[in-house]
A and B are shown apart, each in its own frame.
Chain A
């Protein structure tokens, strides 16, 4: 059993107390003295030329403080893109400008055209309606393949066409892959769509800008997963404010799921407007506004082919994907279908030859960027679905086909440029077989059939790369940022600790889990440790939370800083104990001299550090505070096996999830309760993608799923109780905690299991179906049965 409060304990979350009593401090709870409110007038057409914006009638409306249009931002930079992809010909991607307010043209429904700052939000909105915008509507490009036709309207007139990049990976393998396909005993081809999603954290985005005229300091309060990244991007590239004059605070944040990574126009606007209006300016997104201004996720159209030899060994894989970028490049958009997608195409299998082509396309839609899993769900979905289809075509068991092709030796260098350090795919599949009771499936199917329902089983594997990422590597791949993480550990005189981390918690429970690590290292109670995050003014420069990186990278930084603390504390202890430093041992919160009963308590050492009367001042400085920046040497590679059982209503096509089981290998685990919660949430989002969620546009670029009336969010009754297990643990070999990360796995691993289960159910009724595109709405499933 793990020690209470240490690594491996399911410590209850301390942050829950404030959330359960209404005492959280979310950005919309922040109201500054004298604040004004902004309402953005957003485009209601997808593509058009702005001829004129007449604000004269609106200027005189009650409560109006100031109205902004693009002209007000003439000297200001545009929204930056944080990743530059180089295409298969060695050319850099086409990178359009991205203004804060629409300039010359509007390019998607929801693009902000003008902004009204007023005394109240109602007044701002009233005035916005009085702005007269003269726009000549242009034909919109919505479908990606249409957008690449030579006569297609251009989203950006200053670009050659609507192709952002045409990426080939690994280009040098292409010929060998072609040859392998020619020699293949069997080739399975699958065309599919990975549906566009909206992340929908329950807290809509909010931004409050403030400017202190006395000091010249700007402060932005914002719903961000990474306040330092926002400070760097906005300060350096958009507004030209040096970091020491710009503070970014992301307080309690109500979920992120990727969509709160990015730097958005509204953040830059309120920061700029607070100075221009000489008063704080607040923006609170409505949910309807969020649908047309939060970056969307997924939206790939793919053709994947798997080549097998006569013994059903995978010999080659090739995939062609069209990836929707939307109208502009959101902060990390170019990396998602490339380095977070192509590098995962080996999956759990020893396929020797792989070629990935991705065409990233501009369309008149909201920008698309990372959403929980980001590229890895798209890779997993197509790979696992094509394996299922191959098993059907070959008449073999799909689980056995997977097992036969599992990678068995680690470390394993894939043909798509990454090296898996550890894993045991048989172990997770065996564990899944047990917890999902796969042996009992046929009996359950018969029971369902007796009730007139079709029952199906879907099983798949996944691997992902997270704990992002080695900075030198991602730099070579086009990242315009480092991906280290930071921690400052401050020990107070009486022995308590404060950890200032660059990681950001918006549901992940860092305030509870991070102290467990230090409690274990020092041997003190976790309650003596406090986590500070989310404010650039009191945390070291860090890159924030996404890509399941916080414990693997942020936690490692904290371990490194704590190791420095312990090393220095041992020096102090050796002085106090008059013993050699090499003989000092730290155990259960006390320093002792090996082989003796001489010891000094943690608190005595920390007190000595700050009251250095009896202290080796000639050798070491007073105080006990250390900072570490940790840059990982590799990604981490969580993996697992998932099983879904569904029932399908023959008459209506309605699908219900009857059982869902997940066996994951996350390496070492800090807090099992929190890990399970992360997996539950990920699975629910994966089930949401597979059954319910669909962000849809009509051919004119109007958003059809523009509110919860048409975008189907998973409800409690859409879910069963899940069975999740993370007892299969192959610890990561290259970070000090042996951890891999668990935040995205559920969303990556679950969609193919759901689709596989529905296909299996339909096939059990004799329907010749091998794939149905997500979401598997009743309407689509019914259609597939006809």
Chain B
């Protein structure tokens, strides 16, 4: 790692001020950023830790919405969102490994927007609202391609609001080495329709599979997806699977998510 200054503010306001410096970068749980820094792929002059900000932590149910602080760890979401939004809690409880879940945060994951991360599928698949220190961003506007989001420099995800669906589930097949999703699909059924979000598969990062959404909105059953395929043109092809394989898996995982939805 290149060296950097480290600050750990106690409030969002302090953090925003600290991030106003050029080359300052926010540090969530660090489970992606620290390995990146070790490879010297980033060189911030200052890291602003968000782990000391109490107001950014916690899970609460507000009406038909689950609100999760941006600094909440995957483990906490897995434990505390389980009754209100079991599909989301299940997803959080399967990110990385237990030690990673004890540090990694939802805000960190969404800000990074790794094309193989789990949380983007939940956020997009739920039509969540990404709340920052300065505004609210709809998930449909937030994800803008791999490692690219609507966040401005220095903008912090303070909370994420997930509308609670009637049913939901997350189906994942792991990449054999990293154990990140090779392909994973989050399905959520709402009163006004079904959302299907796919991660791990596309060169453009997480995306909604609109044909599947249409089919499932009419008939929320796995066989409603029979015959539906996604094009492999934009799928990732690498050591772990061809684009055609990933395209195939999108259908398989979507069906499995529907079948498992509760």
Q: Is A–B contact present in the complex under a CB 8 A cutoff?
A: yes
**Residue ranges of A at the interface with B (Cβ–Cβ < 8 Å):** 122, 125-126, 129, 286, 288, 651-654, 691-692, 694, 696, 704-705, 708-713, 715, 775, 777-779, 782-783
Min CB gap A491→B, angstroms: 49
B241 touches A710 (CB 8 A): no
Q: Which residues of A contact B248 (CB under 8 A)?
A: 782
Give CA–CA (A65, B245) in the complex, Å: 52
Quick check: B245 and A779 within 8 Å, CB to CB?
yes
Closest Cβ neighbor of A692 among chain B residues: B176
Residues of B within 8 A of A779 (CB): 240-242, 245
Q: For A691, list chain B residues within 8 Å (CB).
A: 176
Residues 239-254 (chain B) with a chain A CB within 8 angstroms: 239-242, 245, 248-249, 252
**Chain B residues whose C-beta falls within 8 Å of the C-beta of A778 in the assembled complex:** 173, 176, 182, 241, 245
B241 CB → nearest A CB, Å:
4
Interfacial chain B residues near A713, Cβ < 8 Å = 177
CB of B101 to closest CB in A, whole Å = 16
A782 close to B178 (CB less than 8 A): no
Q: Is A711 in contact with B177, judged by CB distance below 8 angstroms?
A: yes
Bound complex: CA of A778 vs CA of B2, how far in Å?
Answer: 38
User: Do residues A710 and B177 form an inter-chain contact, with CB atoms below 8 A?
Assistant: yes
Residue with the highest number of chain B CB atoms closer than 10 Å, among A122, A696, A708, A712: A712
Cβ-neighbour of B3 out of A122, A651, A705 (below 8 A) = A122
Closest CB of chain B to A125's CB: distance in Å? 8
| Min distance, Cβ A705 to any Cβ of chain B, angstroms | 7
B26-54 residues at the A interface, CB under 8 angstroms: 38-40
Nearest CB of chain A from residue B39's CB, rounded to whole Å: 7
Listed from nearest, the 6 A-B pairs whose CB atoms lie closest are: A712-B176, A779-B241, A712-B177, A709-B178, A651-B252, A779-B245
- Least Cβ–Cβ distance between A41 and chain B, in angstroms: 13
B1 interface residue per 8 A CB criterion: yes
With A708-B178, A782-B248 already in contact, the answer to whether A288 and B39 are too (CB < 8 A) is: yes
Tell me, rounded to whole Å, the shortest Cβ–Cβ distance linking B245 to chain A.
Answer: 5
CB of B245 within 8 A of CB of A694, answer: no
Can you add 7 more A-B contacts, CB < 8 Å, to A288-B39, A704-B239, A710-B239? Answer: A125-B40, A654-B173, A696-B239, A710-B240, A712-B177, A713-B177, A779-B240
B170 to chain A, nearest CB (A): 16
A-B contact pairs, 25 of them (CB 8 A): A125-B40, A126-B2, A129-B40, A288-B39, A651-B252, A652-B249, A653-B245, A691-B176, A692-B176, A692-B177, A694-B239, A696-B239, A705-B177, A708-B178, A709-B178, A710-B239, A711-B177, A713-B177, A775-B176, A777-B241, A778-B173, A778-B182, A779-B240, A779-B242, A782-B248
Q: B245: which A residues are within 8 A, CB to CB?
A: 653, 778-779, 782-783
* Residues on B with beta carbons closer than 8 Å to the beta carbon of A709: 177-178
Residues of A within 8 A of B252 (CB): 651-652
Cα–Cα, bound, A694→B39 (Å): 22
Q: In whole angstroms, what is the CA distance A286 to B38 when docked?
A: 10
Among residues of A, the one whose C-beta sits closest to the C-beta of B251 is: A651
Closest Cβ of chain B to A702, distance in Å, is 12
Q: Which residues of B contact A288 (CB under 8 A)?
A: 39
Return the chain B residue nearest A711 by Cβ.
B177
Complex: A652 Cα to B176 Cα, angstroms? 13
| Closest-CB distance, B232 to chain A (whole angstroms) | 13
**CB-CB < 8 A to A711: which residues of B?**
177
**CB–CB B1/A777 < 8 A:** no
Please provide the chain B residues from 1 to 25 with a CB less than 8 Å away from any CB of chain A in the complex: 1-3
Chain B interface (Cβ < 8 Å from any Cβ of A): 1-3, 38-40, 173, 176-179, 182, 238-242, 245, 248-249, 252
Interface centre among B39, B173, B176 (most CB of A within 10 A): B176
Q: How far is the CA of A715 from the CA of B248 in the complex (A)?
A: 26
The residues of A that contact B249 with a CB separation of less than 8 Å are 652
Closest chain B residue to A653 by CB distance?
Answer: B245
Identify the interface centre among A122, A126, A779: most chain B CB within 10 Å of its CB: A779
A696 and B239 CA atoms in complex are apart in Å by: 8
In this complex, the member of B2, B38, B239, B248 whose beta carbon has the largest number of chain A beta carbons within 10 angstroms is B239
Q: Which residues of B contact A712 (CB under 8 A)?
A: 176-177
Q: A777-B241, A778-B241, A783-B242 are in contact. Are A652 and B173 (CB under 8 A)?
A: yes
Q: What residues on A are CB-neighbors of B178 within 8 Å? A: 708-710
Would you call A705 and B173 a contact (CB within 8 A)?
no
Q: How many angstroms between the C-alpha atoms of A80 and B178 in the bound complex?
A: 36
- The chain B residue sitting closest to A708, CB to CB, is B177
Which residues of B have CB within 8 Å of A696?
239
Please, which residues of chain A bring their CB within 8 A of the CB of B241? Answer: 777-779
Least Cβ distance of A4 to chain B in Å? 39
CB of B176 within 8 A of CB of A777, answer yes
Closest Cβ–Cβ distance, residue A287 to chain B (whole Å) = 10
B3 contact set on A, CB distance < 8 A: 122
Contacts of B177 in A (CB 8 A): 692, 705, 708-713
Q: Which residues of A contact B240 (CB under 8 A)?
A: 710, 777, 779
Nearest opposing residue in chain B for A718, CB measure: B176
Complex: A288 Cα to B1 Cα, angstroms: 14
Assembled-state Cα–Cα distance A652/B179 (Å): 15
Bound form: Cα–Cα A615–B101 in Å? 70
Query: Given the complex of chains A and B, what is the CA–CA distance between A187 and B245 in angstroms?
Result: 35
Task: Decide: B176 and A122 in contact? CB cutoff 8 A.
Answer: no
Q: How far is the CB of B117 from chain A (nearest CB, A)?
A: 13
Chain A residues lying within 8 Å of B1, measured Cβ to Cβ, are 122
Cα distance, A499 to B176, chains bound together (Å): 44
A777 to B245, CA, bound (A): 11
Give the complex CA separation of A49 and B74 in angstroms: 49
Please give, as numbers and ranges, the residues of chain A lying within 8 Å of B173 by CB-CB distance.
652, 654, 778
Q: How far is the CA of A311 from the CA of B240 in the complex (A)?
A: 43
**Closest B residue, CB atoms, query A698:** B239
**Which chain B residue has the least Cβ–Cβ distance from A651?**
B252
Q: Which residues of B contact A704 (CB under 8 A)?
A: 238-239
Shortest Cβ distance from residue A775 to the other chain B in the assembled complex, whole angstroms: 8
Residues of the B chain whose Cβ atoms lie less than 8 Å from the Cβ of A122: 1, 3
Q: How far is the CA of A505 from the CA of B7 in the complex (A)?
A: 46
Q: With the chains together, A712 CA to B175 CA distance in Å?
A: 9
Complex Cα gap A125–B179 (Å): 30
A696–B176 CA distance with the chains assembled, in angstroms:
14
Taking CB as reference atom, which chain A residue is nearest B248? Answer: A782
Closest chain-B Cβ to A92's Cβ sits at a distance in Å of 38
| Contacting residues, chain B, for A775 (C-beta < 8 A) | 176
Bound Cα distance from A709 to B242, whole angstroms: 17
Q: Taking CB as reference atom, which chain B residue is nearest A779?
A: B241
State A708–B38 Cα separation when bound (angstroms).
14
Compute how far the CA of A652 lies from the CA of B172 in the bound complex, rounded to whole angstroms: 11
| Complex CA–CA separation, A125 to B39 (angstroms) | 11
Most buried by B among A653, A704, A713: A653
Bound Cα distance A779, B239 (Å): 9
Q: How far, in whole Å, are A192 and B182 apart by their CA atoms in the complex?
A: 27
Contacts of B39 in A (CB 8 A): 288
Chain A positions within 8 Å of B239 at CB level: 694, 696, 704-705, 710
Which residue of chain A has its CB nearest to the CB of B242?
A779
With CB as the reference atom, state the residue of chain A lying closest to B252.
Answer: A651
Give B257 Cβ to nearest chain A Cβ, in Å: 13
Provide the residues of chain B in CB contact with A651, threshold 8 Å: 252
CB distance from B247 to the nearest CB of A (A): 12
Alpha-carbon distance A694/B241, docked complex (angstroms): 13
Chain B nearest CB, measured from A774 CB (Å)? 13
In the bound assembly, the distance between CA atoms of A711 and B2 in angstroms comes to 26
- Residues on B with beta carbons closer than 8 Å to the beta carbon of A715: 179
- The interface centre, meaning the residue of B39, B177, B179, B245 with most chain A CB atoms within 10 A of its CB, is B177
- Identify the closest chain A residue to B179 (Cβ): A715
Q: Tell me, in angstroms, the Cα distance from A783 to B2 when the chains sit together.
A: 43
Complex Cα distance, B240 from A710, in Å, reads 8
| Min CB–CB distance A685 → chain B (angstroms) | 15
**Chain A residues with CB below 8 A from B176, complex form:** 691-692, 712, 775, 777-778
Q: Which B residues touch A286, using CB under 8 A?
A: 38
In the complex, what's the smallest C-beta–C-beta distance from A26 to chain B, in angstroms? 21
Q: Give A122 to B40 CA distance when docked, in angstroms.
A: 11
Minimal beta-carbon separation of B116 from chain A (angstroms): 10
Kindly provide the distance from the CB of B93 to the nearest chain A CB, expressed in whole angstroms: 15
